[in-house]
Amino acid sequence: MKKFGLLLIGGIAALVLISQLGPMIGLAVSLLVLYLVVKQFLKTESTWAKIGWAAIGFMALMASASNVPAILGVAAAYILYVVYKQWNGRKMTFKEEKDPFVNFEKEWSNLKNY
């Protein structure tokens, strides 16, 4: 039953990832353009050049804002990663001890030995 649940969650996440692939590429390209424009804006000294770079930067910012649904694709990729790890039997959690004082007693014994 656990494998069926993982298969179902993984299938849904794969569909979401595939459907958001275009916006994810668009977001990456628009953020790259925005980064390059900001670097050029900071380098230039001319007022008119700064106005031009600011206009291009504003357009790149709006392009990035229109691709915000791509965040769903990134979340779906992470969910696919977690499902893959769980499918192979690798645990994603830390080992939990039943007794909370086990670690304390280990450290206390180490302190006593010094």
Q: Is residue 31 part of a domain?
A: yes
Lowest mean pLDDT among 76-80, 94-98, 109-113: 94-98
Q: Is residue 23 part of a domain?
A: yes
* Per-residue pLDDT band at 5 (split at 50, 70, 90): confident
Instruction: For residue range 55-70, list pLDDT tens digits in order.
Output: 999 999 999 998 888 8
Q: What ranges in 1-114 are assigned the alpha helix state H?
A: 2-19, 21-43, 47-66, 70-87, 102-113
Query: In degrees, to the nearest 5, what angle opens at C-alpha 81 toward C-alphas 75 and 84?
Result: 140
Q: Is residue 70 part of a domain?
A: yes
Instruction: For residue range 12-22, list pLDDT tens digits in order.
Output: 988 988 999 99
Q: Is residue 53 part of a domain?
A: yes
For residue 94, pLDDT over 60 is answered with no
Q: Is residue 76 part of a domain?
A: yes
* Domain encompassing residue 46: 16-93
Q: How many domains does the chain have?
A: 1
The DSSP result for 11-26, as a single string, is HHHHHHHHHTHHHHHH
pTM for the predicted model, two decimal places: 0.63
Q: Is residue 62 part of a domain?
A: yes
CA atoms of 16 and 19, how far apart (whole Å): 5
Q: Is residue 35 part of a domain?
A: yes
Q: Which residue shows structure tokens 């977001």?
A: 27
Q: Is residue 1 part of a domain?
A: no
Which residues have CB under 8 Å from 14's CB, separation 6+? 76, 80
For residue 1, pLDDT over 90 is answered with no
**67-76 burial, b if ≥16 CB within 10 A, otherwise e?**
beebebbeeb
